């Protein structure tokens, strides 16, 4: 099955799944203690938002190198989020199993997209 080229970043499955991850992070972090509002909650949300935001920004870049750079920034934010998931679990702030699964899927999709961009 041949897919039509994406017309908007919103058409990218990796962006859609990244956005769902952000929503999940907001849900999980809303249960964190109030003392975490300006630390873990804020940092985790910022890093999560950075994933689909950089995918969206990179989508409209003209050169493959520029597109790949934004996807690499998003991948860095994924790794940051992976650490925040470990920290949240170790602090007993909630169940992270679903979010771990989501972030792994986004990471794999993003790696594939980046390879596709660089091989075009």
Instruction: List, in order, residues 6 or more apart from 10 with CB less than 8 Å away.
Output: 16
Residue 5 — left, alpha, or beta (φ > 0 → left; ψ -120 to 50 → alpha)? beta
**Among 34, 6, 21, which Cα is nearest to 101's?**
21
Q: What is the pLDDT of residues 56-105, one digit of tens each?
A: 999 999 999 999 999 999 999 999 999 999 999 999 999 999 999 999 99
How many C-beta neighbours within 10 Å does residue 84 have?
24
For the domain made up of 11-118, the CATH class stated in words is: mainly alpha
3-state secondary structure of 82: helix
Domain boundaries, the chain: 11-118
Predicted pLDDT of residue 39? 96
Query: What's the whole-model pTM score?
Result: 0.94
């Amino acid at each position: 099955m041949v897919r039509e080229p994406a017309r908007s970043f919103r058409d990218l499955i990796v962006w859609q799944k990244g956005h769902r991850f952000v929503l999940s992070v907001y849900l999980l972090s809303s249960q964190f203690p109030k003392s975490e509002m300006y630390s873990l909650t804020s940092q985790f949300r910022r890093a999560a938002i950075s994933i689909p935001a950089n995918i969206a920004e990179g989508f409209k870049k003209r050169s493959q190198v520029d597109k790949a750079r934004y996807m690499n920034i998003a991948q860095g934010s994924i790794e940051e989020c992976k650490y925040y998931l470990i920290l949240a679990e170790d602090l007993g702030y909630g169940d992270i199993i679903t979010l771990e699964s989501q972030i792994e899927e986004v990471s794999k999709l993003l790696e594939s997209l980046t390879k596709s961009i660089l091989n075009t």
